[in-house]
Amino acid sequence: MFITILLICGGLVGLYLLLSVTVLKPSKCQSTAKLHGKTVIVTGANTGIGRATALDLASRGARVILACRDENRAQAAVTHIQKETGNKDVLYMHLDLASLLSVRTFAENFLKRESRLDILINNAGLVLGGKTEDGFGKIFGVNHLGHFLLTVLLLERLKECGPSRVVTVSSMAHLWGKIDFNCINTHKDLGLGNSTMNLLKLYSNSKLCNILFTYELAKRMKDTHVTCYSLHPGAIKTEIGRHSSIWWKLFLTPILLLFFNDVDAGAQTSLYCALQEGIEHLSGSYFSNCALQKVPAKARDDAAAKKLWEVSERLCGLA
């Protein structure tokens, strides 16, 4: 029996090591681009993938704006990034994606203060129940609507500074997502329920929204020098589930430790989409592991993408 247990454990360790150097091994952005004179916004840059992305961009000389809700955490991230990169041109601006007023105020302040915008990285995301300030489901409001409004309000500046890019962090969870326009119209949300499984479904739905938004944005920016990309960052250890129940955290912790990569790895595809030369013709596409990926038909549905855009305009008060 003891020998059998040892053999099983040895086999599992061997399988894990094999996965670590194959499936679980992340690609790295190879771009050597320098960004002196360029301005970048990264939402949710006070922690996780966003902070790692902002740090890399700052190390390339960019003026980096951390668009975040929590001032204390954001200022700590600013200090950390400035110290690590030697770039003092890193600053915090308040942005609460759960408030359309906050998004509008951020955009207004940014456009008054900043003459350039070269890269917008829609990175922030959450898995959390409840409602936004405007009565939308929080996952829908933050993961999609807030970023939709932010992008639209900044499009003219992006056009002026072209070639420029919009990078939106989605997820492979879009594979399980769907868009229920009836539910959006009746409940201002992508679905109903606040159980852990329901929240994960809502998250998947919001990630499908991210891809459809990028797909439609690319069509609308066709005759400009603005290109856009969505992406899956990989299986990454972040704080996105920090509001989950203690039992869910206990279940996830060993899985995170064994099979998930760190935030530096999670930033690589965002950086690839923001910096890689020669992918302009792939505007509107979806990437993972620093490579173009195919998506299911529902993520390339022209009618659904157009309808989502129009519904989002109405909900954000743009129509």
Q: Which residues pair with residue 164 across a beta bridge?
A: 226
d(CA 95, CA 44): 9
Q: Which of 237, 295, 292, 293 is nearest to 267 (CA)?
A: 237
**Catalytic annotation on 286?**
no
Instruction: Determine which one of 16, 92, 203, 286 is catalytic.
Output: 203
Q: Which of 92, 122, 121 is nearest to 109 (CA)?
A: 92
Beta strands across the sheet bearing 164-169: 90-94, 63-68, 39-43, 119-122, 164-169, 226-232, 286-288, 291-293
d(CA 103, CA 213): 17
* Amino acid in position 286: Y
d(CA 319, CA 311): 9
CB-CB neighbours of 76 under 10 Å: 15
Q: Which of 42, 130, 128, 140 is nearest to 91 (CA)?
A: 42
Kindly provide the b/e burial profile for residues 284-315, where b requires at least 16 CB atoms within 10 angstroms of the residue's own CB.
Answer: bbbbbbbeeeebeeebbbeebbebbbebbeeb
Torsion over CA: 303, 270, 155, 142 (sign): positive
Residue positions annotated with a catalytic role: 203
